[in-house]
Amino acid sequence: MKRLLILFISALLILPYSCTKPSPNNNPGGEGNDQEPQDTSEVTPPEPPQATYSIGEIVEIGLSKGIVVSVDTTGTHGLMISLDETIAAWSTEHAMLTDMGGEFSHSDGYSNMQYIKSLENWKELYPAFAWCDQKNVLGLNAWYIPSLDEFEIINTSLEVINESLSEAGFQPLATGANDSYWTSVEVGVQSAYAYSFYYGEIASYDLDKMNEHYVRAMRSF
């Protein structure tokens, strides 16, 4: 009798728990869960629009500051030249670097710069190139002496470029009859091409590498 009483009491204690309905919060994957599923996917923010530039605009892009001299159809990429310039010799010696200048591009001053920088003691031998390279700070490898075709590009917008430089208090490009700028293109043992904005063409005088002419740096962006 005592044993039956104990079993009866135990059954009374267990019964309320067995009859209790499970809470929906305790059964997230089963029936009766009325909660809406949460969207855990990440939303990718839209990319910021690319900056656009115009010819004659003075800009600061990364570690470089200059004036825009050409842009592509999108206005996001182009060429810029330095705001300053110097006067220096193309070379400190008469020597033919390549077979009739064959390693020098008339359209790509950057590749010409890389060729010069591959030569031994180039900073001492080629002062104009060394001056441009001083702008390549903190590992930058962008500034160079423009090629012949790149000077032609500058010349097509010369008035706008010089007006903008003057208004901002910077030295405009020299346009006198006796003024010329070194290009990065070799001609021969003693000479390299220089460009005259006065004539709008290659300067036909005094192309001796060891003589000093204006130097202005360029880079793409």
Q: Average pLDDT of the chain?
A: 85
What is the DSSP code (8-state) at residue 201? E
* pLDDT band at residue 115 under the 50/70/90 scheme: very high
Comparing 73 with 41, which gets the higher pLDDT?
73
With tokens 């990429």, the residue in question is 77
Cβ atoms 170, 137 nearer than 8 A: no
Q: In angstroms, rounded to a whole number, what is the distance separating the alpha carbons of residues 118 and 70?
A: 28
CA distance readout (Å), 163 to 36, 158, 170, 196: 65, 8, 10, 18
pLDDT digits (tens, 9 = 90+) for 128-143: 999 999 999 999 999 9
Cβ atoms 142, 219 nearer than 8 A: yes
pLDDT of residue 1: 47
Q: Tell me the CA end-to-end span of the chain in Å, nearest whole number.
A: 99
pLDDT of residue 205: 60
3 state DSSP class of 206: coil
Check: pTM over 0.85? Answer yes or no. no
Cβ atoms 216, 81 nearer than 8 A: yes
pLDDT of residue 17: 46
With tokens 């904005």, the residue in question is 197
Q: In angstroms, rounded to a whole number, what is the distance separating the alpha carbons of residues 193 and 209?
A: 9
Provide the angle, in degrees to the nearest 10, between the axes of the packed helices 158-167 and 148-156.
70
- Bridge partners of 82, per DSSP, are 66
